[in-house]
Amino acid sequence: MQPFLALLALACAAGSTAEQHWCYEIQAKEPNSNCIAPAQWPGDCQKNHQSPINIDTSKAKVNPNLKPFTFTGYNQKKKWEVVNDKHSVKVLLGDGISIAGGDLPAQYQAEQLHLHWSKESDRGSEHSIDGKHFAMEMHIVHKKEPSSNEVQGAKDNIAVLAFMVKVGDQVNEGFQPLVEALSHISTPNTNTTMKESSLQNMLPQKEKLVHYFRYQGSLTTPDCSETVIWTVFQEPIKLNQNQFQEFSTKLYYDQERKLNMKDNVRPLQQLGDRQVFRSRAPGQLLSLPLPTLLIPTLTCLVASFLQ
């Protein structure tokens, strides 16, 4: 009898563990919820070099090595698979898309992009800039191309490009294929194929992509592995209000369609002993406000005139 009871207890414990999964705060607050809220996420999530963070632009140091990226395959038009993975909408990017430059130690292959959002336009981004959150945040996740000397779990194995998204007046045609796909993946673990689209058409103009911030951090979902080189671009993507609202109205966390997918955002983490760096765009002389630059110049001109 005792061995049977022991096996029964083990089976119950295993069943309980299987039922529990990580979730966002909005899900954990639901009645009868059995998921793990962000404060208790497992893995590396309780370590000290976590993401997302608030980026204080006044404390970001200029790094002259943060030069423009080389985007390969970003202009290719493809019909990507898009998935509701229970936590976000994910676009599977496949092969042939990569980045280099930007002071990255190697070439990185794009794997997927996903988004974080809220129903409100000022709380949907994971990162904040000078304390300001945006409507959404898009992450393009790249993995370092394998090499003979690659170290498992190295701090630079993943490179994520993060784009803030704000609400504007005009329809963003580059985002429209993704927006139109949302109604076909309303419930978890469903997928569809987007209309032909390119990554380049979803992003700000290329000349704007020279302004960005850089820091070392983690994945923003469990296991929160601290293996990510983060690049957070200064120029936001702009979506029309209707396009923005489609994400929080068409997608659901559950099969029963009781809880709309929104607020899929990890709370801000402490920067700790890390340093945030910023790029210096070509032709950018000094990161000083215009009056600071003009006053000495005008003083010299007046002095020369009076001599």
Residue 117 scores a pLDDT above 80? yes
Identify the bridge partners of residue 233 per DSSP, sorted by sequence position. 163, 212
What does the pLDDT average to over 54-80?
A: 97
For tokens 């032909």, name the residue.
196
* Cα–Cα nearest to 195, from 183, 182, 171, 178: 178
Task: Give the domain CATH number at 186.
Answer: 3.10.200.10
pLDDT band at 305 (very low <50, low <70, confident <90, very high): very low
Check whether residue 14 and residue 83 sit in a common domain.
Answer: no
What CA–CA distance (Å, rounded) separates 26 from 17? 21
- Whether 227 and 158 have beta carbons less than 8 Å apart is answered as yes
The secondary structure of 27-65 as a DSSP string is HHTSTT--SB-GGG--TTTTSSS-S--EE-GGGPEE-TT
What pLDDT, on a 0 to 100 scale, did the predictor assign at position 242? 98
Residue 227 scores a pLDDT above 80? yes
Arithmetic mean of pLDDT over the chain: 88
Check whether residue 51 and residue 159 sit in a common domain.
Answer: yes
* Cα–Cα nearest to 241, from 166, 139, 158: 166
pLDDT tens for 228-257 read 999 999 999 999 999 999 999 999 999 999
Check whether residue 24 and residue 49 sit in a common domain.
Answer: no
> Is residue 292 one of the residues assigned to a domain?
no
What does the pLDDT average to over 123-137?
A: 98
pLDDT tens for 197-225 read 999 999 999 999 999 999 999 999 999 99
Q: How far is CA 243 from CA 83, 93, 119, 200, 233, in A?
A: 18, 21, 12, 18, 21
The residues annotated with a catalytic role in the active site are: 87
What CA–CA distance (Å, rounded) separates 44 from 170? 41
Check whether residue 60 and residue 93 sit in a common domain.
Answer: yes
What CA–CA distance (Å, rounded) separates 97 from 76? 8
> Is residue 295 one of the residues assigned to a domain?
no
Residue 20: domain span: 1-40
pLDDT band at 7 (very low <50, low <70, confident <90, very high): very low
Check whether residue 143 and residue 219 sit in a common domain.
Answer: yes
The pLDDT > 70 percentage for the chain reads: 83
Tokens of 45: 């999530």
**H helix intervals, 113-203:** 176-181
Q: How far is CA 87 from CA 101, 172, 189, in A?
A: 31, 24, 10
Check whether residue 10 and residue 82 sit in a common domain.
Answer: no
Tokens of 157: 């194995």
Residue 297 scores a pLDDT above 90? no
What pLDDT, on a 0 to 100 scale, did the predictor assign at position 152? 62
> Is residue 89 one of the residues assigned to a domain?
yes
pLDDT tens for 266-287 read 999 999 999 999 998 554 444 4
| Total domain count, the chain | 2
What CA–CA distance (Å, rounded) separates 91 from 84? 9
pLDDT band at 299 (very low <50, low <70, confident <90, very high): very low
pLDDT band at 72 (very low <50, low <70, confident <90, very high): very high
Check whether residue 137 and residue 35 sit in a common domain.
Answer: no
Check whether residue 186 and residue 222 sit in a common domain.
Answer: yes
The burial class, CB within 10 Å (0-12 / 13-18 / 19+), for 253 is buried
Residue 48 scores a pLDDT above 50? yes
- Whether 260 and 120 have beta carbons less than 8 Å apart is answered as no
Q: What is the largest CA-CA distance in the chain?
A: 107
Residue with more model confidence, 145 or 158? 158
